[in-house]
């Protein structure tokens, strides 16, 4: 694909507006403690129905990356990470704020986030196309194993609770079977409800699980207000200083590599990357004592890594259909809505869309830094929005968003139902991400399963595992399950040790 063609396709009015709107909305969502990138992407998913695929995907990836960056503001200024990925940032950032050096902390976190985001964008640009060649070798057996592997690994890593993650994922796979069977037309688990014949639409389910349930959580503490440190906005100096950049540059290079590698692993999101990167920066630092005492390198390591995840999490998504993070799982839904199937075709037939989105993602990261520094001084006002307004506002947007999918009230009821399920799941420590992934991957897994059944002459298991790719995926699935069991057992042993 010609670079000029991609750039001319990218900078249309619609696409540019998508990036600007996505960055601003993402930053505001990230700045509000309690609101996550998942919520932002889920809420905006229905808005993208009326857009061109390029504009739609640009909007969503811009929200994703800038929400992760926006999370660093409350982490630094009020010690309340806006997203879980910014938890490590608070360790040093808040210390600097208490010392009156919030300017420096924000400038370094902005530079690191933009650096990490751009590196991950280029990683996506260079790694994804050759990796997508593997998808050409995929048949029914491989797709079936891939769906199972993707589900196991995201179920394992997303919550740290292996069994609950697996249960949620399997329930999602089961829910995907509700509706008319595609082969025989037989209504499965509809119990006489004609609305269920077409199956469960995953977009209202996503909105319910991530947005509506979050609004119910926020409702629990409606009068919660944020205690802001007194800092004068007129003192705001937002231009990064050369000496600060020089101090953390090497650190950013290493952390962005860590972030890219962690992001490629399915299920391992920004929070894991930021902690791994923070620990590595501390381990290799000559001055370990400064970490936790307001270290600029600590802030850079955490922020660079969590933004480096955003692009690389899209690599397994675009090439094989395995989301690298929870938000990427929702983005998988967005791809399918616009008729784009992950795999080689995304880089050939739909190359104009895919490359425009990747380049747009890189520009969004650059733009995010500029907008972030400009609106940082208004953080106080944004963070002060109380839960008693946020919660009903999210509910209203969830209702209108799910209704907008097809002007259909059934979708709104589906959203509300999944909102309650999501709320109970959060309360019971069941991760909602595997459920939604199961719902999305279900049809792919079932089609692969049934085609394999037809093609298998002898045993189904022998047919599925009778090729190298399936065998590798099978081994990886077993390894992921065993490692999760090991983690569960060691967690229990450690807990018993703590008690004793």
Partner 1 sequence: MKRVYLNIFVGLLLGFISLSLLYISSNFPGTSKNFPMTMLLLIFLLSLFQIIISIYRFKTIKQNNFEIKKISLIIFCLTFVSIYLMQFLNFFGSFLLFFLSGIYFYRIKNLKFYLFGTLILFLSIYLVFEFGLNVSLINREFLG
Interface residue with partner 1, options 13, 234, 407, 457 (CB under 8 A): 407
**Size of site (CB under 8 A) for partner 1:** 62
Is 351 a binding residue for partner 1 by CB under 8 A? The answer is no
The kind and range of the H/E element at 188 are strand 187-188
Query: Cβ(365)–Cβ(202) under 8 Å?
Result: no
| Distance (Å, whole) CA 436 – CA 173 | 9
Residue 189 engages partner 1 in binding (rule: CB under 8 A): yes
Residue from 53, 140, 204, 419 in contact with partner 1 (CB under 8 A): 419
d(CA 176, CA 196): 11
* Under 8 Å between Cβ of 358 and 10: no
* Choice between 95 and 399, CB closer to partner 1: 399
Q: How far is the CB of 203 from partner 1 (least distance, A)?
A: 14
219 is a site residue for partner 1 (CB under 8 A): yes
For partner 1, which residue of 249, 378, 389, 486 counts as binding (CB under 8 A)?
Answer: 389
What is the DSSP code (8-state) at residue 467? S
Write down the least CB distance from residue 490 to partner 1, Å. 13
- Out of 11, 174, 231, 236, the only residue in the binding site for partner 1 (CB under 8 A) is 174
Query: Taking CB under 8 A as the rule, does residue 490 contact partner 1?
Result: no
Q: CB nearer to partner 1: give 5 or 181.
A: 181
Residue 331 interacting with partner 1 (CB under 8 A): no
Q: In this complex, which beta carbon is closest to partner 1, that of residue 333 or of residue 401?
A: 401
Specify the residue, 234 or 498, whose C-beta has the smaller distance to partner 1: 498
Distance (Å, whole) CA 167 – CA 157? 13
Contact status, residue 277 vs residue 248, Cβ threshold 8 Å = no
- Compute the least distance from the CB of residue 167 to partner 1, in Å: 5
- Structure tokens that stand for 131 in this block: 């990796």
Asked if 450 is part of the footprint of partner 1 (rule: CB under 8 A), the reply reads yes
Tokens 């890189």 -> residue? 362
Q: Identify whether the C-beta of residue 306 lies closer than 8 Å to the C-beta of residue 86.
A: yes
The answer to whether 455 contacts partner 1 (rule: CB under 8 A) is no
Q: Is 313 helix (H, G, I), strand (E, B) or coil?
A: coil
The answer to whether 188 contacts partner 1 (rule: CB under 8 A) is yes
**Pick 85 or 175: Cβ nearer partner 1:** 175
Task: Please report which residue ranges of 158-241 form alpha helices under DSSP H.
Answer: 162-175, 202-207, 213-219
For the bound state, the minimum distance from the C-beta of residue 314 to partner 1, rounded and expressed in Å, comes to 26
Residue 217 touching partner 1 (CB under 8 A) = yes
Give the binding range for partner 1 (CB under 8 A) out of 24-32, 61-69, 211-219, 340-348. 211-219
Contact status: 190 vs partner 1 (CB under 8 A) = no
For residues 330 and 489, give the distance between their C-alpha atoms in angstroms, rounded to a whole number.
31
Q: Determine which residue in the list 272, 314, 397, 437 makes contact with partner 1, applying CB under 8 A.
A: 397
Gyration radius of the chain's alpha carbons: 22
The yes or no reply on residue 183 touching partner 1 (CB under 8 A) is yes
Which of 13, 136, 223, 289 binds partner 1 (CB under 8 A)? It is 223
The 3-state DSSP composition of the chain as helix, strand, coil percent (nearest 5) reads 75, 0, 20
Residue ranges in 421-440 that form contacts with partner 1 under rule CB under 8 A:
423-424, 427-429
d(CA 298, CA 398): 37
Q: Is 499 among the residues that bind partner 1 (CB under 8 A)?
A: yes
Task: Indicate whether 14 belongs to the interface with partner 1 (CB under 8 A).
Answer: no
- Nearer to partner 1 (CB atom), residue 33 or residue 422: 422
Q: Which of 7, 11, 14, 66 is nearest to 37 (CA)?
A: 66
Structure tokens of 313? 């999490």
CA dist 108 → 31, 240, 262, 400 (Å): 17, 7, 22, 39
Q: Smallest distance, Å, CB 169 to partner 1?
A: 10
From CA 282, how far away is CA 290, in angstroms rounded?
A: 9
* CB proximity list for 7: less than 8 A, separation 6 or greater: 359
Binding flag, residue 196, partner 1 (CB under 8 A): no
Tokens 């119990």, residue?
191
Of 120, 104, 43, 38, which Cα lies nearest the Cα of 71? 38
Site residues (vs partner 1, CB under 8 A): 47, 49-50, 163-164, 166-167, 170-171, 173-174, 177, 181, 183-184, 186, 188-189, 212, 215-217, 219-220, 222-223, 385-386, 388-389, 391-393, 395-397, 399-400, 403-404, 407, 409, 412-413, 416, 419-420, 423-424, 427-429, 445-446, 449-450, 453, 488, 492, 495-496, 499
């Amino acid at each position: 694909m010609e670079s000029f063609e991609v750039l001319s396709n990218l900078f249309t009015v619609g696409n540019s507006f998508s990036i600007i709107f996505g960055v601003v909305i993402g930053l505001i969502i990230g700045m509000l403690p309690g609101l996550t990138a998942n919520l932002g992407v889920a809420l905006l998913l229905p808005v993208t129905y009326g857009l061109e695929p390029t504009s739609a995907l640009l909007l969503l990836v811009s929200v994703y990356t800038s929400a992760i960056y926006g999370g660093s503001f409350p982490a630094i200024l009020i010690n309340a990470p806006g997203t879980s990925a910014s938890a490590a940032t608070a360790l040093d950032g808040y210390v600097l704020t208490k010392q009156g050096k919030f300017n420096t902390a924000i400038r370094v976190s902005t530079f690191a986030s933009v650096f990490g985001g751009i590196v991950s964008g280029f990683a996506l640009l260079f790694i994804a196309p050759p990796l997508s060649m593997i998808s050409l070798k995929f048949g029914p057996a491989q797709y079936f194993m891939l769906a199972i592997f993707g589900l196991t690994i995201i179920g394992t890593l997303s919550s740290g609770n292996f069994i609950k993650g697996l249960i949620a994922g399997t329930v999602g796979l089961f829910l995907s079977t509700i509706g008319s069977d595609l082969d025989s037309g037989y209504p499965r688990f509809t119990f006489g409800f004609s609305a269920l014949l077409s199956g469960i639409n995953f977009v209202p389910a996503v909105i319910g699980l991530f947005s509506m349930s979050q609004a119910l959580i926020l409702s629990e503490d409606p009068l919660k207000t944020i205690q802001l440190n007194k800092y004068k906005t007129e003192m705001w100096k937002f231009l990064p200083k050369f000496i600060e950049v020089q101090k953390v540059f090497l650190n950013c290079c290493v952390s962005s590599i860590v972030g890219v590698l962690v992001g490629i692993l399915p299920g391992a999101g920004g929070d894991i990357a930021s902690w791994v990167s923070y620990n590595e920066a501390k381990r290799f630092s000559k001055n370990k004592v400064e970490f936790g005492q307001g270290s600029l390198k600590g802030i850079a390591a955490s922020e660079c890594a969590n933004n480096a995840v955003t692009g690389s999490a899209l690599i397994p998504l675009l090439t094989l259909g395995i989301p690298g993070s929870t938000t990427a799982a929702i983005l998988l839904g967005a791809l399918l809505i616009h008729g784009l199937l992950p795999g080689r075709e995304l880089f050939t037939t739909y190359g104009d869309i895919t490359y425009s989105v990747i380049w747009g993602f890189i520009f969004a990261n650059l733009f995010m830094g500029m907008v972030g520094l400009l609106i940082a001084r208004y953080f106080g006002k944004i963070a002060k929005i109380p839960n008693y307004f946020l919660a009903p506002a999210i509910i209203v947007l969830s209702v209108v968003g799910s209704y907008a999918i097809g002007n259909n009230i059934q979708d709104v009821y589906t959203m509300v139902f999944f909102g309650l399920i999501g709320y109970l799941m959060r309360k019971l420590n069941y991760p909602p991400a595997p459920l939604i992934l199961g719902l999305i991957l279900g049809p792919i897994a079932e089609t692969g399963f049934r085609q394999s059944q037809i093609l298998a002459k002898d045993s189904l298991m022998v047919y599925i595992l009778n090729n190298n790719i399936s065998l590798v995926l099978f081994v990886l699935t077993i390894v992921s399950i065993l490692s999760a069991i090991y983690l569960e057992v060691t967690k229990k042993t450690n807990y018993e040790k703590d008690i004793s």
